[in-house]
């Protein structure tokens, strides 16, 4: 009996357009990357910065841009169009923190924003640090540092 | 078990809808639309939902020219933790209050309890109400409100609105004739983004028991409506009932597909939330029954009564559906 119901559920569960979403994400994400590279070159020329420091300024620019777009309620609309292209880069990280901060601001600075701002981004930080540790260890053992 | 009623009538109703609903096909049927934004002048979404619900109850009492003391009970529930919208809205009234929860089937549970209280002569006038707020549901069950992530096609869109109905023992044009209480169903569906698949089984069970108890065929009703199965859940229900030799394909629709136009509006599989079925019933259906388009309808609000914590613990999602029948009295 259970099987019959789950078969009918399967029959009426639409397939997600994975290939289409992947292509959209690839193109949009690639464009975001290319624009960032242009910006990087720009910062190097305009502010006479070395490449490494210009990179940090580009990241800051993207974070600010994503947070402002989230605050104005535009970012989630963009995500519905460009899919994961905006979620995977640093813009997604900034967006998750701003969204949480906006949501909990009425619950106070400590128990609201403070306790909840890393609600989604905390996972990225935790497993980011854990994987950096593991890969660092592998690099040290295999390549000697 | 199906209760039959002889003395329960629909006194009147009041609906307040919001920004997404006013773009839907039945926008003209709402009593009021709060469409400037989703705050309605309040500083939080929580207070906005409370305002919507208390305004709708207040406006219903004014509309029928009653006082608080004329109402014996308000039965209300919503999707917030501790059914907070209902609890906080009812502090503005001097009326005995019963708080209930069946997720999106809450309005059905309220009507079932209310109709039984009136039929049992324990009360004369009862207001049944419910509300949902898109942003509150996002906050309660999903991600932070402004958080955007790609969504699946089977996702439903929580409706924003409040609806209330006055049940009374005074003779009126529309009668509540019977109610079938739902049983909790669980077919091991774990996908929180496919609530239609979670809840279709509950609707199927309740509809089947309703028809058997009353010994009637689906075509007894002009229209059978589920609460918020969406376009995919609707197909699942039709196909599953066919395996039980019940054909509802000709006179069945889902309220989630009446409230929104899924082809024009970006709402994925359709509307959800307790307000979905309540708004459609209290505006479109009642008015069309009064005009004579429908004589007999069966409303089956469907609810996924799930806890996000249990879902994270990899548990499947239980669901429930209650059936209430309305008939134009002679």
| Per-residue pLDDT at B213 | 98
Rounded CA-CA distance B206/B2 in Å is 10
Residue A83 has pLDDT above 90, yes or no: no
User: pLDDT tens digit string along B257-285?
Assistant: 999 999 999 999 999 999 999 999 999 99
> For residues B212, B217, B220 and B221, what is the CA-based torsion angle, rounded to 10 degrees?
80
Which CATH code is given to the segment(s) B2-168? 3.40.47.40
Judge: A98–B151 Cβ closer than 8 Å, yes or no.
no
Q: Please name the helix (run of DSSP H) or strand (run of DSSP E) that holds residue B276, with its range, or none.
A: helix B274-280
Residues linked to residue B87 through DSSP beta bridges, in sequence order = none
Percent of chain B with pLDDT strictly greater than 90: 95
Confidence label for A144 from pLDDT (cuts 50, 70 and 90): confident
Pick among B49, B143, B145, B150 to test the A interface (most A CBs inside 10 A): B150
In chain A, what's the furthest Cα-to-Cα distance? 71
Nearest residue of B to residue A71 by CA position? Answer: B146
Residue of A102, A90, A100, A18 whose CA lies nearest to A59: A90
Q: Which residues of A touch B (CB under 8 A)?
A: 2, 4-6, 8-9, 11-14, 16, 21, 70-71, 73, 75-80, 83-84, 87, 95-96, 98-100, 102-104, 106, 116, 119-120
| Per-residue pLDDT at A1 | 53
Domain chopping of chain A, boundaries: 2-143
| Per-residue pLDDT at B151 | 87
Residues of A with CB below 8 A from B151's CB? 80
Please indicate if any CB of chain A lies within 8 Å of the CB of B47.
no
| Per-residue pLDDT at B143 | 80
User: pLDDT tens digit string along A2-36?
Assistant: 579 999 999 999 999 999 999 999 999 999 999 99
Instruction: Enter the tokens of residue B312.
Output: 């994270």
Select the highest-mean-pLDDT range: A87-91, A141-145, B200-204.
Answer: B200-204
Rounded CA-CA distance B223/B288 in Å is 12
> What's the pTM?
0.94
- Residues in chain B predicted with pLDDT less than 50, given as ranges, are none
Nearest residue of B to residue A101 by CA position? Answer: B144
Instruction: Enter the tokens of residue B107.
Output: 């309005």
> In terms of C-beta density within 10 A (0-12 exposed, 13-18 middle, 19 or more buried), how is residue A32 classed?
middle
The yes or no reply on domain B174-328 and CATH 3.40.47.40 is yes
Domain with CATH 3.40.47.40 in chain B: 2-168, 174-328
């Amino acid at each position: 009996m259970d099987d019959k119901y789950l078969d009918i559920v399967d029959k009426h569960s639409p397939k997600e357009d994975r290939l289409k979403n992947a292509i959209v994400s690839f193109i949009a994400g690639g464009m975001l990357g290319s624009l960032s590279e242009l910006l990087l070159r720009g910062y190097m020329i305009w502010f006479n910065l070395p490449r490494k420091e210009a990179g940090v300024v580009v990241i800051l620019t993207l974070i600010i841009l994503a947070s402002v777009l989230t605050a104005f309620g535009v970012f989630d609309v963009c995500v519905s169009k460009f899919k994961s292209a905006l979620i995977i880069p640093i813009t997604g990280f900034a967006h998750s923190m701003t969204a949480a901060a906006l949501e909990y601001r009425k619950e106070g600075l400590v128990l609201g924003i403070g306790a909840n701002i890393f609600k989604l981004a905390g996972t990225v930080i935790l497993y980011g640090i854990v994987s950096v540790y593991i890969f660092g260890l592998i690099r040290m053992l295999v390549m000697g540092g | 078990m199906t209760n039959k009623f002889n003395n329960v009538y629909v006194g009147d109703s009041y609906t307040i809808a919001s920004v997404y609903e006013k773009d839907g096909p039945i926008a003209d049927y709402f009593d009021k639309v709060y469409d400037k934004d989703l705050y309605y002048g309040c500083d939080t979404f929580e207070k906005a939902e409370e305002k919507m619900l208390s305004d709708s109850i207040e406006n219903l009492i004014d509309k029928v020219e009653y006082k608080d003391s004329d109402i014996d009970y308000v039965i209300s529930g919503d999707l917030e933790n501790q059914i907070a919208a209902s609890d906080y809205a009812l502090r503005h009234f001097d009326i005995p209050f019963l708080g209930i929860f069946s997720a999106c089937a809450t309005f059905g549970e309220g009507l079932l309890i209310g109709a039984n209280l009136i039929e049992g002569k324990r009360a004369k006038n009862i207001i049944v109400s419910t509300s949902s707020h898109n942003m509150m549901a996002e906050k309660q069950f999903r991600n932070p409100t402004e958080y955007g992530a790609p969504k699946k096609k089977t996702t439903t869109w929580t409706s924003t609105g409040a609806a209330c109905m006055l049940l009374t023992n005074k003779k009126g044009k529309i009668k509540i004739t019977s109610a079938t209480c739902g049983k909790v169903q669980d077919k091991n569906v774990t996908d929180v983004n496919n609530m239609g698949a979670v809840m279709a089984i509950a609707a199927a069970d309740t509809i089947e028991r309703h028809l058997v108890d009353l010994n009637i065929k689906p075509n007894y009703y002009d229209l059978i409506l589920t609460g918020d199965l969406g376009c995919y859940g609707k197909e699942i229900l039709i196909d599953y009932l066919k395996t039980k030799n019940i054909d509802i394909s000709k006179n069945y629709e889902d309220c989630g597909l009446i409230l929104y136009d899924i082809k024009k509006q970006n709402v994925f599989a359709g509307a959800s939330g307790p307000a979905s079925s309540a708004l459609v019933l209290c505006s479109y259906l009642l008015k069309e029954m009064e005009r004579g388009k429908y004589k007999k309808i069966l409303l089956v609000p469907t609810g996924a009564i799930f806890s996000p914590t249990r879902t994270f613990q990899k548990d499947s999602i239980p669901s429930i559906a209650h059936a209430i029948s309305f008939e134009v009295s002679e």
